[in-house]
């Protein structure tokens, strides 16, 4: 799974994995590769629980709602879903467009740019700050918290399990709690239209979010909502740079961008896998699973499974029904999918309106990160002569 060739073109490996149906990951449990089996995994939370990770992530409490099983999980989603509905997110269209344009303004006159630090890392964090009603000058603090928590190894230079990386992860987690603690206290005294003020106001059937709930939700947003969009942008822009004929279709007809976003999410599946643990001895995909064992679903393999998706190898922006599960499936299906879609559509629309021509240098070899397929760097040569 960490093999660079696999990360660069996982789609080439998926058919062989689907033929095997399940793959043993040794101590890390079992990997499922077919769409129907992954659907079973994700829609049976009483047998395959999400309550993992409290110790793995270094947080004091479970991340809400990701690490909470139904029925409690349903209570959270009843409160959170309306706050992230397509209509609510649509209200963010103007401010998000301004952010995208602002970033593209700083890039458009350059002849070469590294898309990762100049756009894909910045844009989702800026959107998130806007959602929280925080000023843009908080960005460096924010990026530091995100990176210290998600990839401490890149800062310490030590492997993830090394004591230095674990120590950094824990101090970063503490600083994230502290940071959001202050934001929540501030919104309690001076409410606004930002998402934390809305969390504080919302009441569904008599239920309200507690201070700790909000803290744990904000923490999860930082983990779940930033790198996922950055990674999707990286995968999409590399794809479009390598396939100028597909890019041309979008430049000529921007109305196809929403479809293209879905198709590229399906094909690239930037969030590669989701994991559950078995609450009892059981069986899945013909494979016995012991209580406590982890079962992982490979989303990209499901999204290219010919049993579910017609002509899965064709990347087509005119695909009518696109039943991909890049946002997961079942009760934990991505809460932020509408926000993510909005960000991705705006980014592709604004970028291609300003910078229709770009390419990667001839000798460019992409290096992808694992689990969430983001790029370490994406050099682009801009302009018609590129």
CB of 328 to ligand HEM, least distance (A): 3
Q: Are 199 and 214 in contact (CB under 8 A)?
A: yes
Task: Assess 301 for contact with ligand HEM (CB under 6 A).
Answer: no
Write the burial class of residue 142 (CB in 10 Å: 0-12 exposed, 13-18 middle, 19+ buried).
buried
- Of the two residues 233 and 355, which places its CB atom closer to ligand HEM in the complex? 233
- Residue 374 is classified by DSSP as -
Task: Assess 270 for contact with ligand HEM (CB under 6 A).
Answer: yes
Kindly give the pairing relationship between strand 379-382 and strand 358-359: antiparallel
- Can you tell me the distance from the alpha carbon of 376 to that of 117, in angstroms, rounded to the nearest whole number? 9
Residue nearest to ligand HEM (CB): 336
- # residues near ligand HEM by CB under 6 A: 24
Backbone dihedral region for residue 259 (phi beyond 0: left; psi -120 to 50: alpha; all else: beta): alpha
3-state secondary structure of 338: helix
Q: Are 359 and 113 in contact (CB under 8 A)?
A: no
CB of 366 to ligand HEM, least distance (A): 19
Task: Assess 32 for contact with ligand HEM (CB under 6 A).
Answer: no
3-state secondary structure of 263: helix
Task: Assess 272 for contact with ligand HEM (CB under 6 A).
Answer: no
Contact letters for ligand HEM, residues 273-292 (x by CB under 6 A): -x------------------
Interface with ligand HEM by CB under 6 A: which range of 8-16, 89-97, 324-332, 345-353? 324-332
Interface with ligand HEM by CB under 6 A: which range of 92-100, 160-168, 279-287, 336-344? 336-344
> How crowded is the C-beta side of 71, counted as CA atoms within 13 Å?
0
- Of the two residues 52 and 108, which places its CB atom closer to ligand HEM in the complex? 52
Task: Assess 230 for contact with ligand HEM (CB under 6 A).
Answer: no
Write the burial class of residue 148 (CB in 10 Å: 0-12 exposed, 13-18 middle, 19+ buried).
buried
Max alpha carbon distance in the chain (Å)?
61
Q: Residue 81 CA to chain centroid, in angstroms?
A: 17
CB of 224 to ligand HEM, least distance (A): 4
Task: Assess 179 for contact with ligand HEM (CB under 6 A).
Answer: no
Residues 99, 150, 215, 220: which binds ligand HEM (CB under 6 A)? 220
Of residues 45-64, which lie at the interface with ligand HEM (CB under 6 A)? Answer: 50
Residue ranges in contact with ligand HEM by CB under 6 A: 42, 50, 65-66, 77, 220-221, 224-225, 228-229, 232, 270-271, 274, 326-328, 332, 334-336, 339-340
């Amino acid at each position: 799974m960490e093999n660079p060739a696999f990360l660069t073109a996982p789609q080439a490996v998926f058919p062989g994995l689907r033929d095997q149906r399940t793959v043993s990951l040794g101590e890390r449990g079992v990997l499922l590769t077919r769409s129907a089996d992954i659907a079973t995994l994700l829609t049976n939370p009483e047998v395959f629980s999400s309550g993992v990770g409290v110790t793995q992530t270094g947080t004091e409490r479970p991340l809400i709602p990701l690490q909470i099983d139904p029925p409690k999980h349903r209570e959270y989603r009843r409160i959170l879903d309306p706050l992230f509905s397509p209509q609510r997110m649509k209200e963010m269209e103007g401010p998000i467009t301004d952010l995208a344009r602002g970033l593209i303004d700083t890039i458009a006159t350059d002849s070469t740019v590294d898309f990762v630090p100049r756009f894909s890392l910045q844009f989702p964090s800026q959107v998130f700050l806007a959602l929280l009603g925080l000023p843009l000058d908080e960005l460096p603090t924010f990026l530091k918290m995100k990176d210290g928590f998600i990839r401490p190894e890149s800062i310490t230079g030590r492997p993830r399990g090394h004591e230095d990386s674990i120590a950094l992860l824990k101090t970063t987690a503490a600083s994230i709690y502290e940071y959001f603690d202050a934001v929540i206290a501030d919104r309690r005294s001076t409410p606004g239209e930002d998402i934390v003020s809305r969390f504080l106001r919302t009441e569904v059937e008599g239920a309200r979010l507690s201070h700790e709930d909000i803290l744990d939700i904000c923490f999860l947003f930082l983990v779940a909502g930033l790198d996922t969009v950055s990674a999707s942008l990286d995968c999409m822009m590399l794809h479009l740079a390598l396939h100028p004929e597909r890019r041309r279709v979008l430049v000529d007809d921007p109305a196809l961008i929403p479809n293209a976003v879905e198709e590229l999410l399906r094909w690239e599946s930037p969030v590669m896998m989701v994991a559950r643990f078995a609450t009892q001895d059981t069986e899945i995909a013909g494979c016995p699973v012991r209580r406590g064992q982890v079962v992982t679903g490979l989303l990209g393999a499901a999204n290219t499974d010919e049993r579910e998706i017609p002509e899965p190898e064709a990347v087509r922006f005119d695909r009518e029904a696109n039943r991909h599960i890049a946002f997961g499936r079942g009760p934990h299906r991505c809460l932020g999918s509408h926000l993510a879609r909005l960000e991705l559509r705006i980014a592709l629309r604004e970028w291609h309106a300003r910078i229709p021509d770009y390419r990667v240098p001839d000798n460019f070899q992409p290096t992808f990160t694992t689990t969430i397929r983001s790029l370490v760097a994406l050099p682009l040569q801009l302009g018609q002569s590129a």
